[in-house]
Amino acid sequence: MTPDRFAAFEEPGWGRIAANFTLRPYGRRRTLVSYEARTATGDPDAARRFARYWRLVRPFVGHIMRATLATLRRDAEPGDRPARPAAGT
């Protein structure tokens, strides 16, 4: 889907979500990790359904985010661990 088509999507009964991680240098040996997510729904009924869905999944999303950040940190810090094979090998 193109960015323009995604931005214009407002079909009733549906919503859209965009999310990203950003990594920025933070001093000489540190990196600032940011996460941003945006949601939009096509109508008030879809917004109510999304709110109910979010109440249900929010604790699990928090757990996944914390696990993802812990993995990023572990993989970024120097240490004695075996090298991982390159993707696709």
Residues 40, 19: contact at Cβ < 8 Å? no
Alpha-carbon distance 1 to 38, whole Å? 17
Residues 43, 65: contact at Cβ < 8 Å? no
Closest to 41 measured CA to CA, from 20, 10, 68, 72 = 10
* Site of tokens 């249900």: 56
Element (H, E) at 49: helix 44-76
Domain boundaries along the sequence of the chain: 3-76
Q: What predicted TM-score, i.e. pTM, was given to this entire model? A: 0.63
Q: Quick: pLDDT tens for 4-51.
A: 988 888 889 999 999 998 999 999 888 899 989 899 998 999 999 999
